[in-house]
Structure 1
Amino acid sequence: MSSIAFVSHGGGPMPILGDPGHKELVQTMQALTNDLPKQPSVIVMVSAHWETSGFELTAAANPDLIYDYYGFPEASYHLQYPAPGAPELARAIADKMEDLGTHIRLNESRGFDHGMFIPLMLMYPDANIPVLQLSLDSSLSPEKHWQLGEHLSQVLPEDALLIGSGFSFHNMRAFFNPQAPEKKVSADAFQVWLDETVTGVDINISEAKLRWSQWSLAEGGRYCHPREEHLVPLIVCHGAAQGPGKSIAFTALNVKARHFIW
């Protein structure tokens, strides 16, 4: 089975710019590679920052970077991560996914967004591993993205690395405003719910799938994710893993957050 990780990627380019509020995020993200392949044949990245009607997969040989953030220092718009694409593999994956009932369009013009290059600059800084980026379906359906993960696990090369890039807490107002005590309790409760869902050895895979379909009913769910695009990549990863993972806890921007690996 391919290696799998979900990373909480932080605020725009701030992890790369040395922001003190991202210190633990940077340290924990860099440490993830101790438990992941040093040189996977390809990295397949599911980013919270690309939504399409249906699923799309990058298929350019050398995708550009998309600096999809605003109001940051000039240097952040000149960051480089010249990882190659993998057009032939993209076509092979799309064909195999079609056979399983998941249609994926190839996109030969789209570049890599910061949900891809910010974490990979920290995790695999040499930029010498081919990368494919996969979009989210704009429905953000838990069931559809769980199935996407299930199917990916059947078609990716054995030595591939699947990374979901989002954030386990993504309430933008809460990042930059003091949280009321009851809101902080609610936010922490949802991180615990995530741990239980992803790492619980007593939760079988059918129960995990059901929990994801009802994630917004969990305490703190909608507070942590007013819109769930930063959570959905984790659902893809769990669907691909089909088993419990490991939680890595840290604090970023004064909130508790998680990475997960399988």
Structure 2
Amino acid sequence: MQPVLFLSHGGGPLPLLDDPEHAELLLTYALIRHKLDGLQPLPSALLFISAHWETKEPTLTAAAQPSLLFDYYGFPPQSYQLRYPAPGAPGLAASLAEQLAAGGWTTHLDAERGLDHGVFVPGMLLFPRADIPCLQLSLLDSLDAAAHLELGHALRALRDENVLIIGSGFSFHNMRAFFDPVTNQEASLNLAFENWLESSLRIDDEQLRENSLANWKQAPGAAFCHPREEHLLPIHVCAAAAGKPVTQEWRFTALNRHGSCYWWD
């Protein structure tokens, strides 16, 4: 059985550009890569749920050789010349679409869309050989937490099919705050939400754990840390796909804010 992984992926391509404000994130990724390198067996495919793709109904990339989608702006020219030639997984995409349909989901395949930076940035850092097939599953544009927990339930069987499920977002994502000076009050809200998130993910009882995640807007600091929820929801998918409390957490500071990555055995 493959684990489940949630990654805070940093600011656009900055983790690939030796940005000093991502130094701790890169150290965290080095630890995660070491853990991934020890997996036996290695995953036969990677399923990414990225914060940067929202559709009305679940949609899967289905290209045999997916391109890259440079969905960021204003970065150095080399940011738009990156390559991550991992193969796609159209067969797995079709199979997963059938599984989701059997569970009542209306699902679509997209053979044109490339992998966005929520996929290829962590992919380049954690799987640099680009030899494991990658596909991407969209978030639901309803941004409903309970619906994303249900989506995670529908993915749970993939773990037994040797597929590594990876949520890619950011445990803190307030774009304005990234560029503002850090105040004591904001730092306190940031840390309070990180503590709440870890505590919720470690709840033993599955129903209580998922109830806490479904009601995340009631958490301390929630409105400040996530004015919009798309970077948080991949955690919901991961937690439900794992079906158990989180096993390991890594904390770091990036762009002067606290963030986390999570692993479920």
Short-chain TM bin: over 0.9
What CA deviation, in whole Å up to 9, does each residue of 1:40-72 have, x standing for no partner?
Answer: 100000000000111100011011100111000
Q: Which amino acid aligns with 1:48?
A: A
Aligned counterparts of 2:28 and 2:183: Cα–Cα separation in 1: 27
Distance in 1, Cα, partners of 2:158 & 2:46: 13
CA distance in 1, matches of 2:34, 2:18: 22
Please name the residue that 1:116 is paired with: 119
Identity percentage over the alignment? 47
Q: Secondary structure at the match of 2:21?
A: helix
- Does residue 72 in structure 1 map to residue 75 in structure 2? yes
1:125 to 128, 140, 152: 128
- Label 1:139 to 1:108 Cα distance change in 2 as closer, same or farther (>3 A): same
Question: For residue 242 of structure 2, what is the aligned residue in structure 1?
Answer: 241
Structure 1: which 5+ runs fail to align? none
Q: Alignment RMSD, CA only?
A: 1.2
How far apart are 1:184 and its partner, in Å? Answer: 1.2
Does structure 1 residue 184 correspond to structure 2 residue 187?
yes
**Equivalent in the alignment of 2:54:** 51
Cα offsets for 1:82-139 (capped at 9, x unmatched): 1110111110111111112222211111110000000111000011100010000000
Q: Which residue of 2 aligns with 1:25?
A: 25
Range with greater deviation from structure 2 (249-258 or 24-33): 24-33
In the alignment, what sits opposite 1:224? 225
Residue 157 of structure 1 and its aligned partner are, at CA, apart by 4.8
Q: Which residue of 2 aligns with 1:209?
A: 210
Q: Does the aligned pair in 2 maintain the 1:164–1:233 contact within 8 Å? A: yes
> Whole-Å Cα distance in 1 between the matches of residues 71 and 222 of structure 2?
26
Preserved CA contact (<8 Å) 2:172 2:226:
yes
Q: Secondary structure at the match of 2:85?
A: coil
Judge conservation of contact 2:202–2:209 (CA < 8 Å) in 1: no
Separation (CA, whole Å) in 2 of partners of 1:155 and 1:113 = 22
TM-score by length of 1: 0.96
Aligned mates of 2:202, 2:29 — CA distance in 1: 18
Q: Extract unaligned runs of 5+ from structure 2.
A: none
Count of aligned pairs between the two proteins: 260
How much has 1:30 moved relative to structure 2? 2.5
d(CA) in 2 for partners of 1:195, 1:12: 24
Counterpart CA distance in 1 for 2:98 and 2:3 is: 21
Give the distance between the partners of 2:149 and 2:240, measured in 1 at CA.
5
Alpha carbons 1:84, 1:128 under 8 Å: kept: yes
- Report the counterpart of residue 154 of structure 1 in structure 2: 157
Give the counterpart letter for 1:160 in structure 2: V
TM-score, normalised to structure 2's length? 0.95
Cα distance between partner residues in 1 of 2:34 and 2:77: 32
